Structure 1
Amino acid sequence: MATGTTYRTGDSPPQPGIPGGTERSRQPSRWLRNLVLLALLAAVLLLAWSWRGLREEALVSTSYGARVACACRFVSGQALGSCKGRIAVAGLGRTASFMMLSEDADARTVKASVPLLASQTATFAADRGCQLEPWAE
């Protein structure tokens, strides 16, 4: 059954429910999706390549942070919050900004940690001062 309407190549007949009838919904192009996937893959590879260096840097940062915070807290008697400022000015690198400090007042310990990378605990004893726990390899 002919309707008398002619369509050129690439045109489509009017679709019901779409104003104007000939507009189609535009989907994201494949090159944009592939570009995003390529960027994510590059980020994962960069993280995997630098993971060991980040872990070592985090171990040094948390060791320094635990030792300094322990001395600040239990030798100097300052609040743990004010001790964070001393660690921040030390220039410990890119992992220091993610360092978290916590204390156990009963055990007289301070724990410094960088999530997923490293943590270190320093313990205060009156006769020895603040000492780090041995590193677990």
Structure 2
Amino acid sequence: MATGTRYTTGESPPGDGPAANGPADNGSSGSTHRSRQPSRWIRNSLLLALLALVLVMAMSWRGLREQALVGTSYGARVACACRFVSQQDLGTCKGQIAIAGLGRTASLMMLSEDAENRSVKASVPLLASQTATFAPDRGCQLEPWAN
């Protein structure tokens, strides 16, 4: 029935509000429940995505670790020869490793030098690290892998 009264967005006609339906029941009304529902779906979706990510990482961890171990071994050996045979600074040596075709491993690799022991350590955080030591009679040699 048209009464000629116009209501703007957010307003409701008299008798349609919470007072018309009786006293409030401490937040358990249908509108309050509906406003919580999207946040529950978002939370559950995020938890499911996180669980899937953890599962994928767990399944591929061994392969990632092996690739990082091979990459750090190569990086330590090349950086050792670059630093102690060619007498270049470690930054130049890192650039040579980056163009070697190791893919993402080279960008994650960190190099550190121990000038006293004449060694270079290459590491990929949380996955692998390898050290190569220079000796004048043998050149650069890697430490044995610990299985």
TMscore range, shorter length: 0.7 to 0.9
Counterpart in the other structure of 1:117: 127
Structure 2: gaps (5+ residues):
1-14
Task: Give the superposition deviation at 1:89.
Answer: 0.6
Aligned position for 2:65: 55
Unaligned segments of structure 1, at least 5 residues: 16-22
Cα distance in 1 for partners of 2:49, 2:126 equals: 23
Structure-2 residue corresponding to 1:83: 93
| CA offset digits 1:100-127 (Å, max 9, x no partner) | 0000001000000111111100000111
Residue 132 of structure 1 is matched in structure 2 by 142
Report how far residue 31 of structure 1 moved.
1.1
Matched residue count: 124
Could you list the runs of 4 or more consecutive aligned residues of structure 1 that deviate by over 6 angstroms after TM superposition?
A: none
Identity of aligned residues (%): 74
What is the match of residue 19 of structure 1?
none
Moved more, 87-96 or 58-67: 87-96
What is the TM-score normalised by the length of structure 1? 0.82
CA distance, structure 1, for counterparts of residue 74 and residue 143 of structure 2: 12
State the shift of 1:6 in Å. Answer: 4.7
Structure 2 CA distance, aligned partners of 1:12 and 1:70? 79
Structure number, greater radius of gyration: 2
- TM-score, normalised to structure 2, is 0.76
After superposition, the Cα gap between the structure-2 partners of 1:132 and 1:32, relative to the gap in structure 1 and judged at 3 Å, is same
Name which of structure 1's ranges 102-111 and 90-99 shifts more when overlaid on structure 2: 90-99
Secondary structure of the 1:119 match is strand
